[in-house]
Amino acid sequence: MRLSIITINKDNALGLERTCQSVMCQDFDDFEWLVIDGASSDNSIDIIKKYAKKITYWISEPDTGVFNAMNKGIRQAKGDYCLFLNSGDWLYSLDSLSKAFDIIRNSEEADVYYSDCMLNNNVIQKKHKEFTIDNFYLLDAICHQCSFIKRSLFYDHEFYDEKNRTSSDAIFFLKEYFIYRSKFVYINTIISVYILGGISATYKMAKQEFDEQIKNIIGVTEFNMLVKRNKNVWKPPKLSIYKIIKYLMPYGFYKLYLLFK
């Protein structure tokens, strides 16, 4: 079972460097690695060239957003499964991939293998072994940084919806599980460390997009019941200067400059 690691990047050279280092240091080598850059204006291309001997395919050209870039990577990939490890995120340990695949080899066959996720604030985000629509509604299902997705699902069903700006990965998992009945298998390990977003407005936008998709799938009546069940559970993250700075620190002050540029 061969893996395709897909890394997308735009103007995040510092984050890309960390991602590249984590891939280069793995004790597992049965993978191809694709880097899709969105015509970065910083020194991201220098970083890509630095690791070019390990990178199977890379391109730098304008794109229309995150999911357009991810779809470009899928179309170039040749592995059986895809892992989306975007710039800034990194593999949890030197043996993250070998540990994961040792477990997978002794597991039942699945369309999607997923693990717990370590957040960059050192909190482990435990994942449910069984999915419910309530978990999806609370955006507590799966992280693409911590899942191996069978590449054929994109061709047999659908690619990421590029019209959605923030939630197409979550919507993809939602449809795969509830519409296409794809098989999801939990593996008890941690694949990657996921960089938390720090801006409430973006999170709210993702929630609005995602809720519309849930409503289309289960119907308005069921959706209203879902909201009522969870009205005291979901709360948007509070925004504070401290949280923004803590989020941005792994990127350095250059990222802070880009945010307010």
pLDDT confidence band for 167 (50 / 70 / 90): confident
Average pLDDT over residues 116-120: 82
The answer on pLDDT for 189 being more than 90 is yes
Describe the crossing of helices 168-178 and 200-218 by its angle, rounded to 10 degrees.
20
pLDDT above 90 coverage of the chain, percent:
59
Residue-level pLDDT at 200: 37
pLDDT digits (tens, 9 = 90+) for 44-96: 999 999 999 999 999 999 999 999 999 999 999 999 999 999 999 999 999 99
On the question of pLDDT at 260 being above 70, the answer is: no
Neighbouring CB atoms inside 10 A of 132's CB total 12
Q: Which position has the higher pLDDT, 247 or 99?
A: 99
DSSP 158-196: ----TT-SS-HHHHHHHHHHHTS---EEEEEEEEEEEPP
Whether 252 has a pLDDT exceeding 60, the answer reads no
The arithmetic mean of pLDDT across residues 99-121, rounded, is: 91
pLDDT at position 199 is 37
Q: Is the Cβ–Cβ distance between 19 and 85 less than 8 Å? A: yes
Phi and psi (nearest 5°) for 220?
Answer: -65, -45
Confidence of residue 251 (pLDDT cuts 50, 70, 90): very low
Distance between CA 100 and CA 90 in Å, rounded?
Answer: 15
Name all contacts of 40-44 with Cβ < 8 Å and 24+ positions apart. 40/9, 40/10, 40/11, 40/12, 40/13, 41/11, 42/11, 42/12, 42/13, 42/254, 43/13, 44/9, 44/10, 44/11, 44/12, 44/13, 44/16, 44/87
What is the pLDDT confidence band of residue 201, given thresholds at 50, 70 and 90? very low
**Distance between start and end Cα atoms, the chain:** 44
Number of domains in the chain: 1
Task: Quickly tell me which residue has 């996921």 as its tokens.
Answer: 194
The token pair at 207 is 């929630």
Q: Which domain holds residue 128?
A: 3-260
- Average confidence (pLDDT) over 140-148: 87
φ/ψ of 89, rounded to 5, equals -80, 155
pLDDT at position 128, please?
A: 78
**Residue 249: pLDDT band by 50, 70, 90 thresholds?**
very low
Give the CA angle between residues 69, 15, 126 to the nearest 5°: 85
- pLDDT score for 161: 94
Candidate from 46-55, 97-106, 212-221, 224-233 with smallest mean pLDDT: 224-233
Overall average pLDDT of the 169-178 stretch = 91
Question: Can you read off the two tokens belonging to residue 217?
Answer: 């799938």
Residue 204 has what pLDDT? 67
Q: What is the DSSP letter of 41?
A: S
Confidence (pLDDT) at 197: 57
CATH assignment at residue 146: 3.90.550.10
Ordered DSSP codes for 95-122: THHHHHHHHHHTS---SEEEEEEEETTS
